[in-house]
Amino acid sequence: MGVLVVGSGGREHALAWRLARSPGLRELHAAPGNPGIARLGTCHPIAADDADGLLSLARAIRADLVVVGPEVPLVAGLADHLRHAGIAVFGPGGEAARIEGSKAFAKEVMAAAGVPTAARLERAVAPCVVKADGLAAGKGVAVCRTEAELREGLAAVGAFGGEAVVEELLEGSEISVFGISDGVDVLALPVARDYKRAYDGDDGPNTGGMGSYAPVGGIDADGLAGLVELTIAPVVAELRRRGTPFVGTVFAGLMLTESGPRVLEYNCRFGDPETQSLMALVDGDLRAVLAAAAAGDLGGVSLSIAEGAAVTVVLAAGDYPARGDVGTPIHGIDRAEKLGAHVFHAGTSMRDGAVVTNGGRVLNVTATGASLVDARLRAYEAAAAIAWEGMRYRRDIAEGAEASASG
């Protein structure tokens, strides 16, 4: 089977890395890909939002399956464009992808499906949460506990354009739950946790994600099944009832409150950087599972998960998220990999045969271990082996998580 991965970030590199280990894979292609993915397969200079170009490529390489990574082309209807041409796609159609493309639409679907979520407020009064209704690359959320924060939050969210959605402020711990759906059934992946804020101690502006770990302690198999039945299965059923079945990954961001789990948001794709940690733990044939979902039948397939834990540390440009870094030479990737870590490229390019920076989140360093403590130590040891001028990363990813895992 030939697989085409659409996208160019760390999430896509992690997916490509795991897919490359699938039995029966004939060829791996990516568009546009990145220098890390180029070590695994063939990259093509076609943008993720070039629907016609991707269709022509899929036909030319005789792709048996297209895996769409980013949310923007999914919301724009790329999966529909490919499916209408007879190409098997893992990723929802445009209407189903609106659960990420519009916060207001997601609220409507949750209400119809009976999913517990934060209450929507008629007026913006602190404390509250203000969200951009449309896509904002994980940065369109402002938590406002004071009127001053509310003024800043409204201005920041307003910069994305469109409507702003105001919700009650929920307190608790956040987790990420992922369900692979064939439009009817759902196959769950381990629960993960990511770190949105730019700096240690969850300080600073929101980012696309500065690190992650999996699994999250205190949630066993029954607990995970319960979360899926509460927050993902009803939405899959509601979208199917509307005639827009969801085929792809439903990503539910949850807050575990004293009153029970509440959905903060849905995404229509794998998370980033949660996927990097999850793919390091997947121990089965990912290609077979994604192909079965794309074919509309998850029955008979399963995905084994390795014991232990995984931690991902994002290496970012010094001024990220305000701006990225372009063209700075990166040193030490080989050293980090020799330490046993996976180094997933997120914002890199090649110049004169060397890897250089090309973005805000530049590299993702992922390590596994028998415990979160072990995985964390290995991830930070490998991260310390990499350097470029201005590089920074959070030092507190998964810090203290082992205590909650055993408690």
pLDDT of amino acid 140: 79
Every domain range in the chain assigned CATH 3.40.50.20: 2-92
DSSP assignment of 297-349, as one string?
Answer: --TT----B-SSEEEEEEEE-TTTTT--EEEEE-B-HHHHHHTT-EEEESSEE
pLDDT of amino acid 71: 96
Every domain range in the chain assigned CATH 3.30.470.20: 171-294
Return the CATH class of domain 2-92.
Answer: alpha beta
pLDDT of amino acid 199: 97
Q: Looking at domain 171-294, what is its CATH homologous superfamily? A: ATP-grasp fold, B domain (3.30.470.20)
How far apart, in Å, are the Cα atoms of 347 and each of 4, 251, 273, 377, 379? 20, 23, 13, 24, 19
pLDDT of amino acid 364: 98
How far apart, in Å, are the Cα atoms of 404 and each of 173, 215, 295? 11, 11, 39
Every domain range in the chain assigned CATH 3.90.600.10: 309-401
pLDDT of amino acid 406: 41
How would CATH label the architecture of 309-401? Alpha-Beta Complex (3.90)
Low-confidence ranges of the chain (pLDDT < 70): 138, 402-407
pLDDT 10s digits, 277-291: 999 999 989 999 999
